[in-house]
Chain A
């Protein structure tokens, strides 16, 4: 099993261990956002999806979504000679349809949906709740663990707490979409809500549509 830590996923990503050293017939490479590494490895272990290899791009690309399509395209081109099939574990992720267009051009499938909040929650359910949850700020397991790196510091709240009202004034609650059952993350997510001055709510989602999407890559599904 691959070793990983969230800090590495923020800045450096993860290389598939055997990638680029040979050709792997029958194997599927998942090119994922670093924010999904832990969840994809958990699904792989749980379902014994040994045919899956994982490579991750740095999660911090989300701070500049315009860079995501080129970064994913480069990873696809690099890996293409070595794998029969490649799957992109990103949703639209703020690229305004450009990532989907690039994946179509390259003939590679990706996860459906606007972002990970949506596919963890289930795209249909998330869309159905869109109006009711318009004023909700969402966190996933990864974002709870990396709250400072992805929210607090990039938004400048560590240096300028007075910006909180400008940044979060229209939000009313923080909804923690929990992939795993982890009381420590629940406590931490509640603390994040307090720091942002928002009401707190926890919703267990599990892996949602991510699991469904990865299941389509199994040899049984392909057959």
Chain B
């Protein structure tokens, strides 16, 4: 994608060409170009929310599909994520100022004994882009960290991540502790990570297993909508 666009001057492109070009730049992991594109759209009067959803999130959605289909691999997704992060860093303060739909609040973290956070970070970024407020607990979280953060933040969703076969059972420890304390049903619980599967998610009592960041976003929206429809 990148070769033919070497001489492209982003500021000369009309909106209807600039946005697809930003999708391409995101796909190619070009952080500087994404920064430039975001600034151009802001100068043209786009709202931060529209730039976020139409240029960045949509671009990452395409990246996600190609990752799922085996066309893109981890390094390319990381580069795309870096590019999106560059755009988000401009938009985030503006989104707070201008307001944007808030779909819910998620506490997310990698479980105890596990230091892997690439998947978790991608989920956080995509959830944030979709309008969720994220409280990221980082890596190696014991159950206490999750419980404290859920209560303190008055969160709607708990997200847990694990990359290792040896650490994924800790998710059940967290859920069982929540059951013991009588707070399990106060939260939507979503889990993810390379060795997990649907069956494991069901077996430990999670509300959803999410195989990638795009699925996590859709699942969170669906489960939040379902929650709002429940009788009080």
Residues of A within 8 A of B (CB): 65, 92, 94-98, 114-115, 118, 127, 130-131, 134-135, 154-157, 159-160, 163, 166-167, 170-171
Contact = CB atoms under 8 A, between A and B. Distances in A.
A94 B115 contact: no
B195 interface: yes
Interface string B186-209: 000000001111001000000000
Contacts, number: 61
B78 A163 contact: yes
A105 to B, nearest CB: 14
B46 interface: no
Interface in B38-60: none
A130 B78 contact: no
Contacts of B194: 65, 94
A94 B74 contact: no
A134 B74 contact: no
B164 interface: yes
Interface string B56-88: 000000000000000001111011001000000
Given A127-B166, A156-B74, 17 more contacts: A65-B195, A94-B165, A94-B194, A95-B165, A96-B168, A96-B197, A97-B197, A97-B200, A114-B166, A135-B115, A163-B78, A163-B79, A166-B82, A166-B118, A167-B118, A170-B115, A170-B117
B113 interface: yes
Contacts of A163: 75, 78-79
A170 B116 contact: yes
Interface in B106-134: 113-118
Contacts of B82: 166
Interface residues of B, number: 24
Given A96-B165, A96-B195, A96-B200, A154 B74 contact: yes
B169 to A, nearest CB: 10
B145 interface: no
8 contacts: A65-B195, A94-B194, A96-B195, A131-B113, A134-B113, A159-B75, A163-B75, A166-B78
A4 to B, nearest CB: 28
